[in-house]
Chains A and B, each alone.
Chain A
Amino acid sequence: MSPRKTLKDIRKPNKTLLLIIFMTIFLTEFLFFTWCRVQTIGAGYEISKETKHHQDLITLKNNLKVELARLKSPERIAKIAKNQLGLITPTREQMIIIP
């Protein structure tokens, strides 16, 4: 039979248990904090990656705009019309009057 607990023993909480609870809370908090930091850093990398991707797409869009502007140049269009398609500016006689 276990020795009978005194009243003082019942009122006094178990120190080891308290320490374990405290350490568990502390460790959980510590791990949670670490996890948060890791997540933040990971998210930072993701943001940087996506930002770079976004910038690359903007650059691509700008390059395409430049290309389009170059392709629409009147000199280029006139050259293609004249040399490749064989078009000429109509003379007054070639104009057809539709009443």
Chain B
Amino acid sequence: MKPAEKKHIRLRIIIVGSIFSLFFTAIGAKAVYLQVFRGSWLSQKAADQYEFSCRSYGKRGTIYDTNLKELAISIDVTSIAAHPPKIKNTRAIAKQLSKILKINRKSLVRKLASNKKFVWIKRKVTPKEAGAIRKLKIAGVDFIPEHKRFYPNKTLAAQVLGFTNIDDHGLEGIEFYYNKYLQGSASNYTILKDALGRGFDADKVTGSNYSGNNLILTIDSVIEYITEKALEEAVKKFSAKSGMAIVMAPKTGAILALAHYPFFNPNAKNNFTQKIWRNRVITDAFEPGSTMKIFAAASAIETGNCSPNSIFYCENGAYKVGNHVIHDTHEHGWLSLQQIIKYSSNIGAVKFSAITGSKSLYKTLRDFGFGAKTGMDCPGETAGILAPYNQWTKVDTGAISFGQGISVSALQLISATSAIANKGVLMKPYIVQAITDQNGQLIKSFSPKKMKRVISEKTAGALATIMKSVITEGGTGVNAALEGHSVCGKTGTAQKIGEQGKYAQGKYISSFIGFLPEKMPKTVILVVIDEPEKQHYGSIVAAPVFKKIARKTFDYMNIRPKNKTDKLIVSLKGKARG
């Protein structure tokens, strides 16, 4: 080879080598840049193409009654969503979807044509709707598993249970109060997808680990049903505006039933007004009327100023206190304290309260829990209204003794009466007895809580005897008498205050509160009927409801009447077989 030729080849080699070196340097630099500086970003970008992360929420815990019957449960449902960038024929798809889901087509078109990455089409659809849409196999339409609250007993204890919103957050009642226990926690998990976009090999699936805790209530669904049925019948019979009833175990303060009428179905809460949702037993205060006389009598006896046999002149039906004239429904002359309660004499109550004095009366009423929240585990509790005794006028002491000028909640009234039934010891009312986890393991339990001794055992015994006399012949509560059981009770008929702040004509609250059996009370029952039209006396409107509830509840609880030694559960029309 000639030297010139050799030199030319070497030059070519150098040139080619330089070009290649340049290229390799550029590639190397780019590789370093991608691997070192953009490595994590690119890895994430790649992972995004074959992985997708999901966030799921655990199921809300179940609410059980005292016998572990489900009152509120969560069911699995499907929600329909869309990824608008993946949707092609927007109008045609919107037409198909709106027809199946019965939603507005124009708004759906707007949603599907939007720039958003994710839009809800319809949440918590029926299985039929979800199935129909699945069959269409539309790319970009997603099926998201969710949970929905369901109340299998529909209206049963609805105001107590409350309800949740579409995102499963408690909004009312127990659902709201115990939301942090009931609500499931959120979990994130990753699913790999193949080239066809099919998901596989989920590293974590939605499971029970994220479910919320369960609540066990003190409510007995059978007693609740008995109470609601009896209440419904009475409200309908007397064309009343509404009604409420409570059944409580006096020894523990446990609420066995808490009923409202009109009912509402939390499965279709939007069909009912907000007024009906409310747990009025807790939230509403009202003037109790003559049921308050038993607490005024408790004050009179406890302070030692009177005994059940102390006698008072009842002025033959009209008595002037200051500028006000107090009336009785029937004219009475001399009556003992016991008879004053039995015949429900307002004048008698005014007279024995005058002896007791406003300070003692106020103290006793405060001890019984009036004017303060009971602290029961339900939201929105009212404290009622009980003004300090130094603000009372002369007539106030008398009026409060027969249940005017004081506002109480139904819960306060039944708690206070339970204290009498419980030999003078006030218990804290409660509605949740335990919280368990998803596997039924106990997390927290609530035991009966003694608040304080309100009156002596002797005074409580004397009051029980007085209240028993109310149910005897001639007493106002005779309609509550239950064969075979000694019932103690008191009727109440209170005029309602109208919108102008004065007592409204023809508008009453009829009530009856009582407990049975006298010696070892098992239940305290309060019935309150608001604005009955045909009759308004507590003895006629509310006392029979008490009787009905007490009778059926005792049959259910297997508490036999005194003159019976066994019970028959049901009877059958026609001949027995087998």
Which residues of chain A are near B569, meaning CB under 8 Å? 90
Are the CB atoms of A75 and B75 closer together than 8 Å? no
**A48 interface neighbour in B199, B224, B565, Cβ under 8 Å:** B199
Q: Is B156 an interface residue (CB 8 A)?
A: yes
**A98 interface neighbour in B76, B150, B565, Cβ under 8 Å:** B565
How many whole Å from A67's CB to the nearest CB in chain B?
A: 9
A58 to B209, CA, bound (A): 14
A51 to B203, CA, bound (A): 11
Pair count A-B, CB < 8 A: 93
Restricting to B549-578, which residues have a CB under 8 Å from any CB of A? 552, 555, 561, 564-574
Most central of A66, A87, A89, A95 by chain B CB within 10 Å? A95
How many whole Å from A42's CB to the nearest CB in chain B?
A: 10
Are the CB atoms of A78 and B76 closer together than 8 Å? no
**A55 interface neighbour in B200, B205, B225, B568, Cβ under 8 Å:** B205
Are the CB atoms of A44 and B156 closer together than 8 Å? no
**B568 interface neighbour in A66, A70, A96, Cβ under 8 Å:** A96
Which chain B residue has the least Cβ–Cβ distance from A89? B552
A96 to B567, CA, bound (A): 7
A96 to B569, CA, bound (A): 10
Q: Is B422 an interface residue (CB 8 A)?
A: no
Q: Is B154 an interface residue (CB 8 A)?
A: yes
**B566 interface neighbour in A47, A51, A58, A98, Cβ under 8 Å:** A98
**A78 interface neighbour in B70, B73, B225, B483, Cβ under 8 Å:** B225
A65 to B109, CA, bound (A): 39
Given contacts A55-B205, A70-B152, whether A92 and B565 have CB atoms under 8 Å apart is no
Q: Is A99 an interface residue (CB 8 A)?
A: yes
Q: Is B201 an interface residue (CB 8 A)?
A: yes
**B73 interface neighbour in A44, A55, A59, A69, Cβ under 8 Å:** A69
Which residues of chain B are near A45, meaning CB under 8 Å? 200-201
Are the CB atoms of A86 and B200 closer together than 8 Å? no
Restricting to B484-501, which residues have a CB under 8 Å from any CB of A? 484
- Majority secondary structure of chain B interface residues (helix, strand, loop or mixed): loop
A81 to B572, CA, bound (A): 10
Are the CB atoms of B69 and A69 closer together than 8 Å? yes
Q: Is B417 an interface residue (CB 8 A)?
A: no
Q: Is B222 an interface residue (CB 8 A)?
A: yes
Which residues of chain A are near B199, meaning CB under 8 Å? 48
Interface residue range, chain B: 35 or more
Are the CB atoms of A73 and B570 closer together than 8 Å? no
Are the CB atoms of B150 and A66 closer together than 8 Å? yes
Are the CB atoms of A63 and B75 closer together than 8 Å? yes
A27 to B540, CA, bound (A): 97
A54 to B534, CA, bound (A): 60
Q: Is B202 an interface residue (CB 8 A)?
A: yes
Which residues of chain B are near A55, meaning CB under 8 Å? 205-206
Which residues of chain B are near A95, meaning CB under 8 Å? 564, 566-568
Which residues of chain B are near A38, meaning CB under 8 Å? none
Are the CB atoms of B222 and A74 closer together than 8 Å? yes
Which chain A residue has the least Cβ–Cβ distance from B555? A89
Q: Is A20 an interface residue (CB 8 A)?
A: no
Are the CB atoms of A73 and B201 closer together than 8 Å? no
Q: Is A72 an interface residue (CB 8 A)?
A: yes
A69 to B221, CA, bound (A): 12
**B572 interface neighbour in A48, A66, A74, A86, Cβ under 8 Å:** A86
Which residues of chain A are near B201, meaning CB under 8 Å? 44-45, 47-48
**A97 interface neighbour in B75, B555, B564, Cβ under 8 Å:** B564
Could you show 24 A-B contacts with beta carbons less than 8 Å apart? A41-B200, A44-B200, A45-B200, A47-B200, A47-B202, A51-B202, A51-B205, A58-B76, A62-B73, A66-B75, A66-B150, A69-B70, A69-B73, A86-B572, A87-B571, A89-B552, A92-B484, A92-B561, A94-B568, A95-B567, A96-B566, A97-B564, A97-B565, A98-B565
Top 3 A-B residue pairs of the complex, sorted by shortest distance between their CB atoms: A44-B201, A69-B152, A74-B225
Known A-B contacts: A55-B205, A58-B76, A72-B152. Give 20 more (CB < 8 A): A44-B192, A45-B201, A47-B200, A48-B200, A48-B201, A48-B202, A72-B69, A73-B156, A74-B156, A74-B225, A78-B225, A87-B573, A88-B573, A89-B552, A89-B555, A89-B570, A90-B569, A92-B561, A92-B564, A99-B565
- A residues near B (Cβ < 8 Å) are 41, 44-45, 47-48, 51, 55, 58-59, 62-63, 65-66, 69-70, 72-75, 78, 81, 85-90, 92, 94-99
